Structure 1
Amino acid sequence: MPLIFDPPSPPTLPVEGLGDLPVGRIFCVGRNYAAHAAEMGNEVDRDAPFYFTKSPSSVLRTGRTLPYPPGTQDLHHEVELVVAIGAPVFKGLGGKDAVLAYGVGLDMTRRDLQAAAKEGRKPWDLGKDFEGSAVLAPMVPASEVVGIGGQMITLSVNGQERQSALLSDMVWSVSDIVDHLSQFYRLRPGDLIMTGTPAGVGAVIPGDRLEGRIEGLPPVTVEIGAPE
């Protein structure tokens, strides 16, 4: 039968030297830096990572303006290493060559809505998954990135640094995450993993300009606009 309407085209991200990557699912790792977990009043679960998701419609390319989202009075920044999957992985099989590219992203969060959901033992969807909540920079092929661990990850707001850590501070490494996540999902090319944020998260307001950086990768920038 014919489709009632045409499905939306997937968002895409440029991968240097390869072309545009169609974005599939977006998996996000929670509490992957112990200092961030502590600042939020939590402890890291060292038995296994845990996840939440964002929809492809949450993708906003770097350099754009993000209108201050509806329903919140406490929008927060979280800078993260982003991993693009480039080959099928299931139950760890294929994981060695699964990572296609690395990039920098911002997991924008309606913190007041997330906090209310946590207090009521409800899902985090309203706090984490909304239009423009995944701000993403162009990616670099994994073959051109020498190891992941010693690089600094930073976030500044209006030129003032707020977040800073080493990628080696992650509780769960990229290979740990891919192996664990693939025990529950058939990871496929185009899936993204946002690997968690270091300490120093905080609120932003209209007019603020954010810049996230990881050594050796293109930076991610966004300006917070007025509410629509």
Structure 2
Amino acid sequence: MLTNICNVYCVGRNYKLHAEELGNAVPDEPMIFMKPSHAVVALNGEALELPASKGEVHYEAELVIRIGRDYEPGVRVDELVDAYAFGIDFTLRDVQTVIKKKGHPWTAAKGFRNSAPITAFQTFPGAAAMVEKDFALMKNGVQVQRGNISNMIFSLQDIVDYVGHHYGLGPGDVIFTGTPEGVGAANAGDVLELAWDGTVLGACTIKAAE
């Protein structure tokens, strides 16, 4: 587990094409769920154990922002966020399908151990600068996802304002900001790499675990 991580907020369905590929409606306000801090691990090239007995495990590549100060109404995202990274929101898709039908919380599908690997954090250059480059996920050397935060339904400012107002934000909190289209299954032996503007920042090899 990465240290100094407090609350882990996640934004669901924040890219229109991703919502559509899963047959979901596009939300009219940010859809927020949480992962335990124990789900967060370093995406540092090592093997990553994921459940093998609960159906398909899907990858969802995302920009992750870290909060550096307490949220106050009116604060700009560039003042609030001190660092960024990229992460994978691993999802037990078959489990999620069942619990969604039952109206149950998503924790069983989203909050398992190792479900939130993150690259090393880097100094946040501002929201405008983040739009200038794309992030991508490669699976076994083949690009499977590519995203730019300009395509998010809710901007970084929208997200921090919503989370800060409804739940609170403070130093050490992180936010997974949503995934673009192209999600799919990760299987034992797969090598996943997260890149920013063509430079690989983190990787892992999937290992099956019960």
TM-score, length of structure 2 as denominator length:
0.92
**1:1-228 alignment to 2 at 5 Å?**
11-12=2-3, 22-46=4-28, 48-62=29-43, 63-69=45-51, 71-93=53-75, 95-143=77-125, 147-215=129-197, 219-228=201-210
- Structure-2 separation of matches of 1:179 and 1:216: 31
Residue 115 and residue 43 in structure 1: after superposition, are their counterparts in 2 closer, same or farther (change >3 A)?
same
- Structure-2 separation of matches of 1:137 and 1:217: 12
2:85 is paired with a residue whose SS is strand
- Structure-1 separation of matches of 2:129 and 2:196: 13
Greater mean deviation of Cα atoms: 175-184 or 90-99: 90-99
The root-mean-square deviation of aligned C-alpha atoms, in Å, is 1.9
TM-score, length of structure 1 as denominator length:
0.85
> Are the counterparts in 2 of residues 108 and 133 from structure 1 also a CA contact under 8 Å?
yes
Higher helix fraction: Structure 1 or Structure 2?
2
How many Å apart are 1:65 and its aligned residue?
A: 1.4
- Structure 1, unmatched stretches of 5+, are 1-9, 13-21
Larger radius of gyration: 1
- Structure-1 separation of matches of 2:200 and 2:143: 17
1:147 is paired with a residue whose SS is helix
What is the percent sequence identity of the aligned residues? 37
Equivalent residue number for residue 3 of structure 1: none
- Structure 2, unmatched stretches of 5+, are none
Dislocated runs of 4+, deviation >2 Å: 90-96, 143-146, 214-218
- Structure-1 separation of matches of 2:24 and 2:126: 36
Greater mean deviation of Cα atoms: 163-172 or 199-208: 163-172
1:182 is paired with a residue whose SS is helix
